[in-house]
């Protein structure tokens, strides 16, 4: 385990999902998604920045034609508690109308970011709209769009595999709990 040198600090308490466990689950999610969309044009939309590693692995585990795009969202307000109001700094320029849209999210905590984003994306007239989240803390009220979930996460602050704490730790190949 190379948590110390790669993380550059002693802040990580324990590995919660190791790289092999994540890879196996992402492959399964890819198979589930491949089966779930037998026809129609599919666009994966990654919510930056947290989803960038998950999206890269997931896209390669899906065996059907697809397009990839991103959204960049910023929560209004200050501090660590999200206000629930989401401002989009970038949204796909390509047409979403008539396509299957699968929003790819790193982790669902309060679910506010997601609720706001799904409203915004639905207004663009997709053929279907669903969410694939690697982790769900199951704190949020369940949204009908949440169709694919990698793991039910413990109610802890997690970092690695795209997830950050103050922009650190995103590059860790495993997911760890902050100490």
User: Is position 109 annotated as part of the catalytic site?
Assistant: yes
Alpha helices in the chain (DSSP H): 3-7, 19-36, 52-60, 112-122
21 lines the binding site for ligand IMP (CB under 6 A)? no
- Cβ proximity to ligand IMP: between 80 and 123 the closer is 80
- Cβ proximity to ligand IMP: between 27 and 138 the closer is 138
34 lines the binding site for ligand IMP (CB under 6 A)? no
Token pair listed for 156: 């802890």
- Cβ proximity to ligand IMP: between 50 and 126 the closer is 50
- Binding mask of the shown chain, residues 74 to 93, with x at each position contacting ligand IMP by CB under 6 A: --------x-----------
50 lines the binding site for ligand IMP (CB under 6 A)? yes
> By the 8 A CB rule, do 138 and 152 touch?
yes
Which residues have CB under 8 Å from 134's CB, separation 6+? 22, 26, 51, 54, 105, 106, 107, 149, 150, 151, 161, 162
What phi and psi, each to the nearest 5 degrees, are found at residue 34? -60, -45
- Cβ proximity to ligand IMP: between 27 and 170 the closer is 170
- Binding mask of the shown chain, residues 89 to 118, with x at each position contacting ligand IMP by CB under 6 A: ----------------xxxxxxxxxx----
158 lines the binding site for ligand IMP (CB under 6 A)? yes
162 lines the binding site for ligand IMP (CB under 6 A)? no
- The distance between the two most distant Cα atoms of the chain, rounded to a whole number of Å, is 49
Active-site annotation holder among 18, 109, 119, 164:
109
Alpha helices in 61-151 (DSSP H): 112-122
The rounded distance, in Å, linking the Cα atoms of 41 and 117 is: 20
Binding site for ligand IMP (CB under 6 A): 50, 82, 105-114, 157-159, 163
Active site residues per annotation = 109
């Amino acid at each position: 385990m190379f948590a110390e040198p790669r993380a550059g600090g002693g802040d990580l308490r324990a590995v919660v999902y190791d790289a092999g466990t994540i890879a196996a689950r992402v492959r399964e999610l890819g198979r589930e998604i491949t089966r779930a969309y037998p026809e129609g044009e599919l666009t994966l939309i990654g919510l930056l920045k947290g989803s960038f590693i998950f999206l890269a692995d997931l896209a390669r585990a899906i065996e059907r034609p697809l397009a990839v795009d991103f959204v960049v969202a910023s929560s209004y307000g200050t501090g660590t508690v999200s206000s629930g109001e989401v401002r989009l700094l970038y949204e796909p320029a390509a047409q979403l109308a008539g396509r299957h849209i699968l929003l790819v999210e790193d982790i669902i905590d309060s679910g506010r970011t997601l609720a706001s984003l799904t409203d915004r994306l639905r207004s663009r007239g997709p053929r279907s709209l669903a969410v694939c989240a690697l982790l769900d803390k199951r704190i949020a009220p369940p949204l009908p769009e949440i169709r694919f979930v990698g793991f039910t996460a413990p109610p802890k602050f997690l970092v690695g595999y795209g997830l950050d704490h103050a922009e650190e730790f995103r590059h860790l190949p495993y997911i760890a709990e902050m100490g």
